[in-house]
């Protein structure tokens, strides 16, 4: 698969054209951003860890029948994926109160929710990703009603897979964000599944194992991500290029 020019450069990934119009390459960068790009840093090994974790988690959810854009891992930074038309909606699943949810309703972080909550946000950096509803999403043409229903169902399946998977390594899945894309009439899971877009707390201690370490200045994100890699793969992160 010949890589061609960069089509799009995002905050943590680059999208590269290939010689097949139906396929693109996703390249994970070491850049971290928070608060809509106001806080930035380069985090050693973040791209390689996220690439490996995204493959691991995507394969798990694919096994559970959730369709995904993922085709194959090309190398330690790059994945081959199907080109999709991204739906401008972020689908967030929450098991425990945290982040913007806790703030919005003035409740403590760490309160278990009686059942998983699915929220949707409008994907717009200019507006700071505002909370939305299915009615607004349909009205403004971001997605069809059946697509929203599908995304909610699939997000809840992904939640069950992730809770079980992380449970085996003593980690609680607090919340996470998914994005979906269209290929013709079909929707598939797109983007990444990585600790950049999830809250993961160590069971028992509540220690944060995700990007909140960077957002909230709680420690060394590079070390946090390498430790998470070790916990998931039961081996240290390989040296660069190996
Ligand atoms: N999230 C994300 N990208 C965003 C907003 C949220 O990946 O633009 C993830 C975030 O990492 C967390 C979950 O979605 O795991 C819920 O985030 P929340 O709405 O609480 O917002 P935050 O507090 O991160 O601003």
Q: For ligand 1, what atom is nearest to the CA of residue 35? A: 25
Kindly report the pTM of this predicted structure.
0.97
Distances, alpha carbon 226 to alpha carbons 185, 187, 214, 215, 236, in Å: 39, 32, 14, 17, 7
Lining residues, ligand 1, CB within 6 Å:
90, 92, 98-101, 129, 175-177, 197-199, 211
Ligand 1 centre to CA of 192 (Å) is: 13
Nearest residue CA, atom 7 of ligand 1? 197
Q: Hey, what are 31's tokens?
A: 């850049």
CATH entry 3.30.470.20 includes domain 85-220: yes
- Tell me: the pLDDT tens digits for 58-116? 999 999 999 999 999 999 999 999 999 999 999 999 999 999 999 999 999 999 999 99
- Is 70 exceeded by the pLDDT of residue 134? yes
What residue spans define the domains of the chain?
3-84+224-233, 85-220
Pocket perturbation via mutation, ligand 1, pick of 155, 166, 180, 197 by most ligand atoms within 8 A of CB? 197
pLDDT for position 4: 79
Class of domain 3-84+224-233 (CATH, top level): alpha beta
Pocket perturbation via mutation, ligand 1, pick of 39, 88, 95, 100 by most ligand atoms within 8 A of CB? 100
Ligand 1 centre to CA of 227 (Å) is: 21
Q: For ligand 1, what atom is nearest to the CA of residue 36? A: 8
Q: Are 58 and 64 in contact (CB under 8 A)?
A: no
The mean pLDDT of the chain is 97
- Tell me: the pLDDT tens digits for 167-226? 999 999 999 999 999 999 999 999 999 999 999 999 999 999 999 999 999 999 999 999
Q: For ligand 1, what atom is nearest to the CA of residue 129? A: 8
Nearest residue CA, atom 10 of ligand 1? 197
For the chain, give percent helix, strand, coil, nearest 5: 30, 35, 35
């Amino acid at each position: 698969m010949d890589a061609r020019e960069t089509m799009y450069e995002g905050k943590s990934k680059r999208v590269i054209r290939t010689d097949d119009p139906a396929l693109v390459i996703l390249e994970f960068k070491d850049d971290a951003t928070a608060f809509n790009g106001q806080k930035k840093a380069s985090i050693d090994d973040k791209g390689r860890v996220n690439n490996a974790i995204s493959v691991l988690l995507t394969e798990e959810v694919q096994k559970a029948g959730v369709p995904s854009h993922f085709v194959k891992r090309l190398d330690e930074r790059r994945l081959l994926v199907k080109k999709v038309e991204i739906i401008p909606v972020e689908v967030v699943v929450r098991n425990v109160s945290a982040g913007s949810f806790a703030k919005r309703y003035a409740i403590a972080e760490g309160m278990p929710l009686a059942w998983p909550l699915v929220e949707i946000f409008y994907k717009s950096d200019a507006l700071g990703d505002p909370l939305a509803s299915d009615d607004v999403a349909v009205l403004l043409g971001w997605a069809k009603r059946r697509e929203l229903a599908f995304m909610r169902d699939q997000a809840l399946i992904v939640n069950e897979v992730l809770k079980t998977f992380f449970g085996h390594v003593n980690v609680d899945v607090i919340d996470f964000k998914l994005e979906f894309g269209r290929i013709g009439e079909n929707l598939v899971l797109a983007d990444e599944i990585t600790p950049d877009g999830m809250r993961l707390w160590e069971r028992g201690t509540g220690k944060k194992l995700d990007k909140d370490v960077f957002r909230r200045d709680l420690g060394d994100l590079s070390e946090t991500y390498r430790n998470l890699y070790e916990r998931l793969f039961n081996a240290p992160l390989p040296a660069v290029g190996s």
